Structure 1
């Protein structure tokens, strides 16, 4: 939260007001959006069936956190094509006419019945080779605007999988020998074109867009890779099973929403009013423990040439790339030229 919650002033163009704001970080973010993303290749049937029967129970169990949570659903199998010598790898990725690379089954919504229905509509496909097109699905988490992340919400991408992505070197960044599992051809599904995707680049972009990967894996194979990959986004990987899936998810999502610190706490003005916020001291705090407060001294200046009128906008406290931890409403009255000024404190 931000204190004070409101700033009201009357100022002529080029005139300024200085104020100290106190930002307090709560134990958990006020809002969170969670995407459930399913690998629908044949080996994932047991996990999918559990998710179908327990989706509502899972969402209801997370209510105890006191966070405003919305949900969405995506799914994939693999690209339904054959690729020859794609980064040194040759294979049929998925089954033509059956498998698909990506679907947004339900945009983020507060309607849990709709989310549960979307999960229950999912149908297991095939998949041919062992690696899957996880990189493409992670890419769409920030590239598909129809996903519908809410401004200011913590973004969690829960992925259910059991293998490794297609990538030219899945061991990049790890103390292992290079290993190729083929490239990811991207949206055009054609190898060696400009929209091909690289796993490590996509994970870094997830982090920059505030999308945290929570990988629910059903096998120990390559779990050290998955821990490294999820960690790039600020997330984690864990082993689960159909029997313990819901309990495991509640524990892991609770952990992600209860981080002991937030990073890069800073203030921003509403779009269109960035030029009014002429100074913020300090510009940011690199790390702030939850439950603690930090002070910012700001200067708001009415831009030269601003017409008379009342201007209302927000100053927002942002951390962890995208998460909003509070707003202050600012109301500035710009008087007409020659009018008597009545300053309101």
Structure 2
């Protein structure tokens, strides 16, 4: 049995507390009692606002700190407070910081200075520790660094967050580097759904690596600007304010409730220059008896941006399949006819 409810018919909706996000799903909560096998469909609208103020994002700042990088590093250190504050205005943002040099004649090839934190002060402190020295030969250990920040749990990437690496340097990388190749590095980043914003302040793309990594992870490549901090701000603004896919994330739904969404997603070239709305039908089906409260999310290609809460009670009664009902009715009619024949005899 299937019921169909629309947003205008919210009598069955129960007011439940949900997080305050600027991007939204309407209705913001829903409650129903279903038998096992019974379904209800609710029409939901996801609204994406003009500005990103409620994004859940993790941003990793990665710098080449070899000797030729003194000026770009100084520029970022000076403007880090502005960059971090600007990011904080986009919602639930955390920051991580790391840097790389090379394997030969350097104290380290890659250093994790700060794992993901919501503290701007901690991120600023880690950035302030960057200093340019060493490097040896021209290519550096960037492939190793990118692979490590993706695969090392110490980075602290959060589930459900949009994940970006802001990477800047002036030289290409050894391939392989500490076992990491260009192909394996891109694979490691994609496995963690990390988008790389590559900012070339010299010849970082001399071997074609920076562009390949940026495009291969759904990020972007920037070059030719002396204002590193300005480029970082512009790159992050574009990353958070443009999107090409919107869908409903039902990953937190319990096994006791089936959740199906139609359409599966919307794809296109979207931005936050205007408010946009997207309509979905969400169908809940009772699977296992129990009382379930869970969230579903509006998700852009870079992460979750809106939340909606559902409370579904599944009772032990099983709704008969339509074919079962027909067979049951035929059986009763047959018994009735048999009784009449027996009485007539």
**TM bucket, shorter chain:** 0.7 to 0.9
Q: Look up the SS of the partner of 2:74 in the other structure.
A: helix
Gap runs ≥5 in structure 2: 1-23, 318-345
Q: Deviations over 1:143-200 (max 9, x none)?
A: 1222222333322201121111222xxxxxxxxxxxxxxx223xxxxxxxxxx32213
Shift of the 278–271 alpha-carbon distance from structure 1 to 2, 3 Å rule, reads closer
Contact 2:253-2:295 within 8 A present in 1 as well: no
Offset of residue 223 of structure 1: 5.8
Q: Look up the SS of the partner of 2:35 in the other structure.
A: coil
- Name the structure 1 match of 2:228: 245
In the alignment of these two chains, the number of paired residues is 289
More strand by share: 2
Shift of the 101–24 alpha-carbon distance from structure 1 to 2, 3 Å rule, reads same
- Name the structure 1 match of 2:309: 329
Counterparts of 1:272 and 1:100 in 2: how far apart (Å)?
43
Offset of residue 212 of structure 1: 1.5
Offset of residue 335 of structure 1: 4.8
Offset of residue 100 of structure 1: 1.3
Shift of the 146–331 alpha-carbon distance from structure 1 to 2, 3 Å rule, reads same
Q: Deviations over 1:4-55 (max 9, x none)?
A: 1101112233322211221223345523221111112111122223333332
- Name the structure 1 match of 2:101: 77
Q: Look up the SS of the partner of 1:12 in the other structure.
A: strand
Q: Deviations over 1:186-235 (max 9, x none)?
A: xxxxxxxxxx3221332244245331211222214636823343122222
- Selected match of 2:177 from 159, 175, 184: 184
- Name the structure 1 match of 2:107: 99
Q: Deviations over 1:94-131 (max 9, x none)?
A: 21xx4312222111212111111111223434122211
Shift of the 318–274 alpha-carbon distance from structure 1 to 2, 3 Å rule, reads farther
More helix by share: 2
- Name the structure 2 match of 1:191: none
- Name the structure 2 match of 1:46: 71
Contact 1:37-1:159 within 8 A present in 2 as well: yes
Counterparts of 2:299 and 2:82 in 1: how far apart (Å)?
31
Q: Does 1:116 align with 2:124?
A: yes
1:218-297 matches, cutoff 5 A: 218-220=201-203, 222=205, 225=208, 226-239=210-223, 244-259=227-242, 261-263=243-245, 265-271=246-252, 273=254, 276-287=257-268, 289-290=270-271, 291-297=275-281
Q: Look up the SS of the partner of 1:127 in the other structure.
A: coil
Counterparts of 2:219 and 2:206 in 1: how far apart (Å)?
14
Q: Look up the SS of the partner of 1:60 in the other structure.
A: helix
Larger radius of gyration: 2
The runs of at least 4 aligned residues of structure 1 exceeding 6 Å deviation read none
Q: Deviations over 1:244-295 (max 9, x none)?
A: 2222222222122221x322x3223244625623422222223363432222
1:120-269 matches, cutoff 5 A: 120-167=128-175, 183-185=176-178, 196-220=179-203, 222=205, 225=208, 226-239=210-223, 244-259=227-242, 261-263=243-245, 265-269=246-250
Q: Look up the SS of the partner of 2:172 in the other structure.
A: coil
